[in-house]
Amino acid sequence: MAGVFEVEVDGIEHDHGHGHQDEASRIDLSQLSPEEKWRLEHARMHAKHKGHEAMHAEMVLILIVTLVIAQLVLVQWKQRHPKSYNLVTLFQMWVVPLYFTTKLHWWRFLVTWFIFSVVTAFITFRATRKPLQCTTPRLVYKWFLLLYKLSYTTGIVGYAVVMFTLFGINLIFRIKPEDSMDFGVSLLFYGLYYGVLGRDFAEMCADFMASTVGYYSASGMPTKHLSDSICAVCGQAILVDVDEEGIMENTYRLSCNHVFHEFCIRGWCIVGKKQTCPYCKEKVDLKRMFSNPWERPHVMYGQLLDWLRYIVAWQSVIIGLVQGINYVLGLE
């Protein structure tokens, strides 16, 4: 099929088809401005795909059908086999961005990914050991709570930088729009990615330690008795009363009257997504527990991370599946 297109270079229109490829190849691209080069490439692309409207419509239809079927399969998988779904999703969240960033030579991300992987691997190793050391739960929750706050702050700062760039505030500081936008998007990516990944590792560690700590079993009956002065998460003594203001951390009392260290119960409820009492498994009312309105967005942020997990972990797989189908059908 002969593709005919017109491109205007320096005010002169050139008509190119299969019989004029030599003439197109004689155009000296070094003499063209960036805008003219873009217009030339744009015209060549249109000429290449002219008459392929039916094929493009078929490719879009395949994409839509694949997205719908994949979504149904993922929902059923998550409902019927949540452990295997979470494990595979966590692995993809950890590996897929590594592949693309290595291919694109994003060394800053690779450095942060390596540091995160080493520390988190050590924390996860400690969390899965039996018998569990008495200091391990507190160490695990403090690390993931710190990671959670860092990712949340990084994401908010990145979003603010992007919005400032859109409103032109970067020009006040004489920063180029492309530089400030790249900086904001990078921070937003780091915050969201490590927020999702850290949250998944935290849930896995929480599941291991919930059974290893030994205060409750699968039957719902506690296997050990909890003293009023002992935190059920870390097993350490509570030195600050509920009504007192602590220097490093406070003490929280749940609606079931069980008391915990601040870092422990925050990590258990928010980071580990365990919205039940670690001792009696009673439902925890997070709105009553965190009365400060500035702390409530952390709960909504956690829900946002659950939302983004699908995009990061599965979207690339679905797009790859669509490309494979198109290749098999000869549409590419």
Helices (H) then strands (E): counts for the chain: 10, 4
User: With 70 as the cut, is the pLDDT of residue 17 above it?
Assistant: no
Report pLDDT for 161. Answer: 93
Q: How far apart are CA 204 and CA 191, in angstroms?
A: 20
Cβ(140)–Cβ(267) below 8 Å: yes
Burial 212-250, CB ≥16 within 10 A → b, else e: ebebbeeeeeeeeebeeebbbbbbeebebeeeeeeeeee
Using pLDDT thresholds of 50, 70 and 90, give the confidence band for residue 20: very low
Identify the weakest region by mean pLDDT among 143-147, 199-203, 214-218.
214-218
**Helix spans in 131-257 (H):** 136-166, 177-213
Mean pLDDT for the stretch of residues 168-174: 87
How open is the CA angle 90-264-137, to the nearest 5 degrees? 65
Q: How far apart are CA 238 and CA 259, in angstroms?
A: 8
Cis peptide before 131 (omega within 30 of 0): yes
Q: How far is it between the farthest Cα atoms of the chain?
A: 89
Structure tokens at 69: 């079927």
Report pLDDT for 39. Answer: 79
Mode of pairing for the β-strands spanning 251-253 and 259-261: antiparallel
Residue type present at position 132? L
Q: Residue by residue, what is the 3-state secondary structure of 240-281?
A: CCCCCCCCCCCEEECCCCCEEEHHHHHHHHHHCCCCECCCCC
Q: Which residue has the higher pLDDT, 332 or 203?
A: 203
User: What letter would DSSP give residue 14?
Assistant: E
User: With 50 as the cut, is the pLDDT of residue 162 above it?
Assistant: yes
**Model pLDDT for residues 244-291, shown as the tens digit of each residue:** 776 777 888 887 788 888 777 776 765 555 677 777 777 776 556 555
Q: Which residue has the higher pLDDT, 130 or 47?
A: 130
**Model pLDDT for residues 288-327, shown as the tens digit of each residue:** 655 544 445 455 665 666 677 777 777 777 788 878 887 7
User: With 60 as the cut, is the pLDDT of residue 104 above it?
Assistant: yes
Mean pLDDT for the stretch of residues 174-203: 88
Using pLDDT thresholds of 50, 70 and 90, give the confidence band for residue 7: very low
How open is the CA angle 209-148-234, to the nearest 5 degrees? 30
